[in-house]
Amino acid sequence: WSTSVGDNHERLMELMRKFVQASADARPAGQVEAASAEIERACQGGDLDIIEHICALQSDNPWLQKASATLAAGSPLSARLILEQLRRTQRLPLREVFSAELTLSTNIVRGSDFAEGVRALLIDKDKNPQWRHNSAAAVGEDEVGAYFESPWPEHPLRDL
């Protein structure tokens, strides 16, 4: 270091540039861009089509294989809720996205599939959840919509 503030600033910036470059060099390659064509094909059609396409995905890409297996093993209700959440919040301002997320997550933890997932993964550890619905097609539109209704007379994030 020196007695010059400007010189010290330059030295610090140079040191930081080295760390930034080392971090960038160590960063693994992204997964989405490499799989974008397969993702695009799988995400064609309505919600049920998309869920079916992803669950049935045959890919050489290990990242996509894991995503497919995870969706297939998960709650059919959750799959429907995720797609609906993406649709409803796609163009909302961030404060409204946070409000919608709080509403949805609060309603999810109050539902039976959340408790069943916790039981199967963390309590009994049998990894064999018995979901309320046996398929995404068995989940009714009214049920999906109910998860997006605020459980509060006044939303706790109304002043966000």
| Model confidence pLDDT, tens digit, residues 78-94 | 999 999 999 999 999 99
d(CA 90, CA 9): 42
Predicted confidence (pLDDT) at residue 50 exceeds the cutoff of 90: yes
Rounded to 10 deg, the angle between the 76-89 and 94-109 helix axes is: 160
Which residues, 6 or more positions from 106, have their beta carbon under 8 angstroms from its beta carbon?
151
User: What's the pLDDT at 1?
Assistant: 83
User: What's the pLDDT at 28?
Assistant: 87
Q: Is the whole model's pTM more than 0.75, yes or no? A: yes
What percentage of the chain reaches a pLDDT higher than 90? Answer: 93
Q: Residue 13's pLDDT band (boundaries 50, 70, 90)?
A: very high
Rounded to 10 deg, the angle between the 76-89 and 47-55 helix axes is: 130
d(CA 155, CA 160): 10
DSSP 57: -
Mean pLDDT of 125-139: 97
